[in-house]
Every structure is written in C-alpha cells, then in structure tokens.
Chain A
C-alpha cells in the first residue's frame, strides 16, 4: 500500500453552519440523568451523543458501545459570547479597521506594500507548487507575519479613517474578553457586526484566510458539545455517579443560558440581563481554558480546579506529550535493582512474578512439536500463556481449554511461553546516554521483587542501588534474539566505546581482595586456598611452597589463562606475568585496565570475550572471598594523628606561611619580579597559589611517610578501591585552599573586598583568603567552616549548572549523529547517502579498538 504523503496542514475556524452540520442534537436541558437514573433527552448525556455503557444501542448510528464513535451535539446560546482564546486576534482586527466603514486604516500605498508581502499566502493556496516555490512562499509568509506586526504600529498613529474620514476612538482591551470604546463596554454582538463587515480582501492583507476562517466566527452563538466518549461518567463503588469535569462545565453553561433566556422573555431589566450575559461569557471562557488569566478558575465541590479543554491538551501530562508522543511497549518490565555477587556479569536476576508474566514466542514446527506438547501440557511455572494458531486467532491457555488446544496443536502455531533461565533479554537504565546503557543479559529467575545484577556491570549503566529502577525488554523474534545475543551481550561490551578502556571491571571490594591476596608475603594454608578458590569456581590448587602453604600470587594466578604474559608498570610498582603466573607485583585497580596497564585488554585481545568474562567473574568472586576472609575495616582511628604527624603538619604550614609572607613583603617593597604576562599583583597571587598547592602535595607525602602501611584507609587508597590520599589529607592534615567558581581564592563577601569583617582590607595572606589549616579530625573553627561552606556552595552550584548544560549539549550531539553509519568503503554516511567523512575518523579506527591498536604497536617494538 502506498502511504499518503501529507504536503501541508492548514488550521481554520469552525463556522456556525459547520457546528449545526456536525451536531446530531440540540441540547436544551441543563442536566444529565432523571430520577430513574436514565439519560434525559436533550440533556448532556443524551443517548444520541453516543453510547459507552455496554449493551446499549446508539440512537444515532445504531452501533454498540465498542463501535459507536460518538456524535457531537450543540448548545444554542441565547446571547453570543467571545471565544476567549482568540481575543488577541479580535483586538488586532478591531484596532486595525475603521469603526465606521470597517476598512483597514491605511492608505492605498501602504495597503499595496502589505499586499506584496502577503503574496505568500496566495501562492500557498495555488496547487502544484515545486518545493522551491513552497520554500519561497513560506519565507514570504514569515515576512507577512512581521507585516501584521508593523501594520499595528502604523495604524496606532492614525486618528481618522483615510476612506470615510470617521474619527477613530481608541479601543481598550482588558483580558480575557472585555473590549471598551472609551468607557462604553463593547457587547459581543457589536463586535461580531464589526468583524463581519471586514471585506475578504482586507482579511487577506491581515494574514487571515477568509475562506476557512471568517473572524465573526470567533463570536460564538452555538457551542459544539463533545460526545460522551470524550467525557465519560464514572460509577463509584457506592453506586454514586460522578460526571466528567467537562460535563460539569457544560451543565454550568446551560444553566446560565436557560436563566438568561427566561429573564429575556420575562422582560427583565437590562442590568440583570447584562450580568447574566457576562456570567455566561465567564463559563464559556472557563470551559475552553480554566487557566485563562484574568478569571478565577472554576472549582469542583472539593476545591480542586476543573480540568477543561486546554488543560487536557497542555503540558507534560497533556494529550500530546503524554498520550501521542509518549510510547509504551509490551513485553517489558521495570523494578528496583539490587546487587547479587553470585550472578555472572552477563546475567540478570528476574523476580519470579515478572518471569511468569513476560513471554517468549515458541514457533511450533514438525521437529519441535513434541517439546511444544510437553510445554502445553504443563500447568505450573514454565508453561504456555497464549497460543496463536495458523489462522491468526490468539487464545489464552487456561486449565479448561488446555486439553482441546493440545489436540489441535500443529506446526505453524505460535506458543507464548513464560520467561525461563537462559533467555536473552535487553536491560536498560535511563538516561540512555551511550550504547552500553542497553545491554543483553541472560535471565536467572529468582525469588524476591527486584532485578539483580553483578556489581561489575554497574559502571556502564551508571547504576547504584539506592533505589534505582531499570527496564527489561524481551526480544520477540528469533532475529532480534540473535542480534541481542551476538551484538549486545555484556561480554562484547567490556571495553568502552568512548576510548577503549575497560568499562566493565572490578571495583571496590573486588580490588581490595586482589591487593591483599597478591602481596609478596601473603601465604595461605591448603584449607584457605581451597576455600577461596572454590568460591571462585576453581577446583584445582596451584603448586604449594616447600612448607605446604600457598603463595597468594599463585592462588591469583589460577584465574589467569595459560600462556598469558604481561610486563607492565603499575602504580604499585612493576608487575610481571609469565605464562599465566604472576611472578612479580601487586594487583591493584590500574592493573586491570586504567592507563597503560591492561590485564583485561590483553586477556580480551588474546583469549576473546568468553575467557575475559570468565576472568572478571572469577576474580571478583575470589577477591570478595579473600577480603571477607582477611577482613578490612575503616573507622575514626585510621585518621587519628600522633605527635610526629602533628609536628610535621605544623612545620609544613609554618614554612609555607613564611614563604608566602616573604613573597608579600617582596611585593610591598617592589622587589617581586613579576611573571611574564602578569601584573605585579596577579604575579603575587599566582605565586601564593603555587606555594599553597605545593603545601598540599607535601602534606600527602608527609602522610605517606608517617602513616603505617597497614592503615586500612591508606591501603584502600593505594589499591585504588576507595578513597584517595587527598581525602586522607583533608581528614588528618588540613583542608587546604577553598576555591571559588573561577578557581581563584575567595576574596570578597564583605564590603571593601574582604571575606569577613575581622580581616583587614588588603590582607592577602592565606588565612584571609580561604586557606583552611584545620582538618576534619580535629575539627574546624567557625571561620574555617565559613570558608569551607563558601567553597562547597560554589562547587555545588557549578556541578548543578554543568550537568544541566553538558547533558543537553550531549543530547543534541547524539541526536544529530544517531543515523550516521560506516559504509563498506569505510566512509561515514547519513541516511540520504551523503558523505560525512571519506574515511571514518580519518584513520578508520573505531575508538573501542584504539587500545588494541596501541597494545599491538607496543608489542611490535
């Protein structure tokens, strides 16, 4: 079938005639049901407006609830009202036309120039336009918009109509629906007469197409009433009926309409009629948009504002964004995630409740029909939920029809079986910023109510377990399953598409254990070695030492593939692996994959994804087992300092301050040699900052020198599993310089350019500019806390702004690039076959593989 191509969409107004044509019934009873609970004829739930209760027949089309599309009715208003959503256009029209002869208040010349600009709209109406002409017409239409605006400006100065000479009184508009000439209020019918008198030619100049939108149609005397399908009533448990907000509002309109009619017929005084007329206007305005500025929102009995037409469409939860653009899919599940170190890195733990509801299609063939029969026979868990036979009929399998379905089962039927262990599913965490935000996992059905994943796959999803939720999708075709399995599985995603570094790797406890285990002096008894290797799923022991113990390094080596060799430098010293045996060095975070140390890369390159996955899983288990066994704990005691450290700290601070004071005095005596490109003042500032940074670096060295190597916090920092020397410094030495957004020292806040009143103006010493010399362990003085708070607030604000800005930038970039692909000739193209790059990246190397390339180059040398 050839899809229809829409080449333009045009919006217009509904004329009173169209309203009558669309309407199937004129409503005149401002109520819904009579005492018997039956819809009143001519009421707002008249049965001619369509039926929604099952069993009833529509009085208009004769169809039942499911097939009746609903029919519009209408209300005839005894006095016309203004359509409030268009009052700005009405105002523009009234301002720009003569109040007597209703022509545009411009001379022939100005009119001609506007006509030239408004050609666009005429061209648009002509059929058979080439694309260039449409572009041109659109540009002109834009120009015409501006013409409308400039027209108003021109008209404002005109006091007299250039055609009939009538003096123009100023028209005032007050939102939402009040128009005045001088002090006299313009009634809607007067406005309608004025609008109706504007000629079609004049309207075209003003940018209005009179064929589809006559301005007098903006004044309503009949109101279209939407079918009941649009505003269904709800029956509460108590049997009470509750009507839709729109129905409520329509009742209000009809009540006032009826009262107005009675008063007019009874010859009531004009003031009363005008009041009721105004009230009718209010109700109609609220019916269209209950958030119109200038009117109090109509409220429900409970005090809740009514949701009228505009509220249904508007905003995030409105019809457009929520229902039309918002897409929801079947065969998916979402729940909270939690950790499970017993799951392999490419598995996902699926709660039984979810597994028993999600289904995978099973295509029955003559070769697997026996298996199909067996599954269909089963009544409990791994069973069939639905059956689609060859004639396309889908049936739910229940105990009562199982026998019949079994008899009819034949090749070509499609069964929907429950999710079982080993099924391939897609797992996703939003925001899906890069391709590893969606990966394929293998299902493990587990008790409980959360999805469970291995801790190692946490970084690609950027997930943690403080309440994060994730989505799961079940691929429904064999093709999709195969794609997921061979392209998206976790084991193929270990290396990041950004730079080729390992993104799925051991973390925290998975590193700490390795660090302890591979220390030079680690020895394990046979029991211990067997125990932790057993947990890692390895049932062999390495060769023992002479005294019958096992070296930690040898235990670790059991994870390494045979034949692996590696000779690298790590942050913990050189590391050497010879033929799958760790002979020298300690395994830490950067051994796995950061920087130049590429244990994972080497394994991935030489042994493939399966061995790599196996290694990651086994090493995280081994590490967890060993930390559990050896134990590690961190408390305040790690951060306590002895007198030696205290002394080193105060010496460091004193010498730094002496240095800084020296620079300041040099500056004051004009002896300070300025840095190239800096003023004397800026040079001093930079030199001070350099000195203070130096102090921070030295503080780290002091700590490393004085703190026992067995200090747990220090060990974790060295292993790279958690924490850093810098954080240790802040707790045991001093907080250091607090910086502002721009990276400079804090220098203002109080008047005369100082931070706090006790600081002398012009004082540039460290203590006056936010250098905190106390630490978290000994505690901060009030002034230190203030300085620290200035710095913290700055970085917090910066972080918030940065994430918002860079997130949006990244989104725009990835959307712009998302349909580009690499062609067989290695050129980058878009969907229109346009060349973007002749060779991908200039060298045709995928970033994922850049690390492999580097490794290969290294071994060549």
Chain B
C-alpha cells in the first residue's frame, strides 16, 4: 500500500532537539503554547514518534518560497 506521508508534496517534518527548541523560543520571544499545534495522532507525528511537548519543524515549500514552520505536539 502507498504511504501518503511519503509523497513528494508532503513537506519534510522533523523533531526539534530540546536545545533547538529553547533557542527557537528564546529568539522569537515565545512560550511553547504560543506555537501552532499538531495532534499526536497526526500521521507525521506517528511516523516520527513525536509525543506531546515535542516541537516539529516543517520544511515548507509554497511555489518556490522555502520557509520553516514550527508546531508543538499536543494530545489528541
């Protein structure tokens, strides 16, 4: 069966290391709750084994505009 999350138009997701999370929050003057959220049950979270509290880094590409997006994993 085809795994949809491996499709080329699905952006690359990765779990951010604790140190990187702290740097991110520090540099953007944020608390963890301020980040957009992603469910633990999201296919990408399942694939990465992300648990609530982890921050996911998403390498987005919109029509050639490459940028990073961050989401904090929440229960659900």
- Chain A positions within 8 Å of B, measured between CB atoms, are 825, 827, 829, 832-839, 842-843
Q: Decide if B2 is an interface residue (CB 8 Å cutoff).
A: no
The answer to whether A835 and B30 touch (CB under 8 A), given A842-B60, A842-B62, is: yes
7 A-B residue pairs with Cβ-Cβ distance under 8 Å, sorted by A, are: A829-B34, A834-B34, A835-B35, A837-B69, A842-B65, A842-B67, A843-B62
CA distance A835 to B34 in the complex (A): 6
Interchain CB contact under 8 A, B65 and A843: yes
B residues near A836, Cβ cutoff 8 Å: 36
Using CB atoms, name the residue of chain A closest to B67: A839
Contact of B28 among A825, A832, A837, A843 (CB under 8 A): A825
Interchain CB contact under 8 A, B65 and A827: no
CA distance A829 to B70 in the complex (A): 13
B residues near A825, Cβ cutoff 8 Å: 27-28
B residues near A832, Cβ cutoff 8 Å: 34
Using CB atoms, name the residue of chain A closest to B60: A842
Interchain CB contact under 8 A, B70 and A838: yes
CA distance A839 to B68 in the complex (A): 8
CA distance A687 to B43 in the complex (A): 46
A residues near B3, Cβ cutoff 8 Å: none
Interchain CB contact under 8 A, A835 and B70: yes
8 tightest Cβ-Cβ pairs between the two chains A and B: A843-B65, A842-B62, A834-B34, A839-B67, A842-B65, A838-B69, A833-B34, A835-B35
Interchain CB contact under 8 A, B28 and A827: yes
Q: Could you tell me the distance in whole angstroms from the C-beta of A191 to the nearest C-beta in chain B?
A: 51
CA distance A829 to B36 in the complex (A): 11
CA distance A659 to B17 in the complex (A): 70
Q: Could you tell me the distance in whole angstroms from the C-beta of A796 to the nearest C-beta in chain B?
A: 39
The answer to whether A838 and B67 touch (CB under 8 A), given A825-B28, A827-B28, A833-B29, is: yes
Q: Could you tell me the distance in whole angstroms from the C-beta of A466 to the nearest C-beta in chain B?
A: 43
Q: Could you tell me the distance in whole angstroms from the C-beta of A842 to the nearest C-beta in chain B?
A: 5
A residues near B34, Cβ cutoff 8 Å: 829, 832-835
Q: Could you tell me the distance in whole angstroms from the C-beta of B46 to the nearest C-beta in chain A?
A: 23
**Looking at chain B's contact residues, is the secondary structure mostly helix, strand, loop, or mixed?**
mixed
Q: Could you tell me the distance in whole angstroms from the C-beta of A766 to the nearest C-beta in chain B?
A: 43
CA distance A99 to B29 in the complex (A): 66
Interchain CB contact under 8 A, A838 and B65: no
Question: Chain B CB within 10 Å — which of A829, A834, A836 has the most?
Answer: A834
User: Which B residues between 42 and 76 are near A, CB-CB below 8 angstroms?
Assistant: 60, 62, 65, 67-70
Using CB atoms, name the residue of chain A closest to B34: A834
- Chain B positions within 8 Å of A, measured between CB atoms, are 27-31, 33-36, 60, 62, 65, 67-70
B residues near A837, Cβ cutoff 8 Å: 69
A residues near B68, Cβ cutoff 8 Å: 838
A residues near B65, Cβ cutoff 8 Å: 842-843
A residues near B69, Cβ cutoff 8 Å: 837-838
Q: Could you tell me the distance in whole angstroms from the C-beta of A836 to the nearest C-beta in chain B?
A: 7
A residues near B35, Cβ cutoff 8 Å: 834-835
Using CB atoms, name the residue of chain B closest to A833: B34
Q: Could you tell me the distance in whole angstroms from the C-beta of A824 to the nearest C-beta in chain B?
A: 10
CA distance A736 to B47 in the complex (A): 58
Q: Could you tell me the distance in whole angstroms from the C-beta of B32 to the nearest C-beta in chain A?
A: 11
CA distance A832 to B36 in the complex (A): 12
Q: Could you tell me the distance in whole angstroms from the C-beta of A794 to the nearest C-beta in chain B?
A: 38
Using CB atoms, name the residue of chain A closest to B37: A834
CA distance A843 to B63 in the complex (A): 10
Q: Could you tell me the distance in whole angstroms from the C-beta of A624 to the nearest C-beta in chain B?
A: 43
Q: Could you tell me the distance in whole angstroms from the C-beta of A264 to the nearest C-beta in chain B?
A: 68
Other contacts beyond A825-B28, A834-B36, A842-B60: 18, CB < 8 A: A825-B27, A829-B34, A832-B34, A833-B31, A835-B28, A835-B34, A835-B36, A835-B70, A836-B36, A837-B69, A838-B69, A838-B70, A839-B67, A842-B62, A842-B65, A842-B67, A843-B65, A843-B67
CA distance A825 to B28 in the complex (A): 8
CA distance A836 to B69 in the complex (A): 10
B residues near A843, Cβ cutoff 8 Å: 62, 65, 67
Q: Could you tell me the distance in whole angstroms from the C-beta of B37 to the nearest C-beta in chain A?
A: 10
Q: Could you tell me the distance in whole angstroms from the C-beta of B75 to the nearest C-beta in chain A?
A: 14
Q: Could you tell me the distance in whole angstroms from the C-beta of B64 to the nearest C-beta in chain A?
A: 9
CA distance A832 to B29 in the complex (A): 12
Q: Could you tell me the distance in whole angstroms from the C-beta of A132 to the nearest C-beta in chain B?
A: 14
Using CB atoms, name the residue of chain A closest to B62: A842
CA distance A829 to B31 in the complex (A): 13
Q: Could you tell me the distance in whole angstroms from the C-beta of A845 to the nearest C-beta in chain B?
A: 9
Q: Could you tell me the distance in whole angstroms from the C-beta of B57 to the nearest C-beta in chain A?
A: 10
B residues near A842, Cβ cutoff 8 Å: 60, 62, 65, 67
A residues near B36, Cβ cutoff 8 Å: 834-836
B residues near A839, Cβ cutoff 8 Å: 67
A residues near B27, Cβ cutoff 8 Å: 825
Using CB atoms, name the residue of chain B closest to A845: B65
Q: Could you tell me the distance in whole angstroms from the C-beta of B17 to the nearest C-beta in chain A?
A: 18
CA distance A836 to B33 in the complex (A): 12
A residues near B62, Cβ cutoff 8 Å: 842-843
CA distance A835 to B68 in the complex (A): 13
A residues near B28, Cβ cutoff 8 Å: 825, 827, 835
Q: Could you tell me the distance in whole angstroms from the C-beta of A105 to the nearest C-beta in chain B?
A: 42
Q: Could you tell me the distance in whole angstroms from the C-beta of B63 to the nearest C-beta in chain A?
A: 8
Using CB atoms, name the residue of chain B closest to A832: B34
CA distance A825 to B27 in the complex (A): 9
CA distance A827 to B70 in the complex (A): 12
Using CB atoms, name the residue of chain A closest to B64: A843
B residues near A834, Cβ cutoff 8 Å: 33-36
Q: Could you tell me the distance in whole angstroms from the C-beta of A850 to the nearest C-beta in chain B?
A: 13
B residues near A838, Cβ cutoff 8 Å: 67-70
Q: Could you tell me the distance in whole angstroms from the C-beta of B27 to the nearest C-beta in chain A?
A: 8
Question: Chain B CB within 10 Å — which of A833, A835, A839 has the most?
Answer: A835
A residues near B30, Cβ cutoff 8 Å: 833, 835
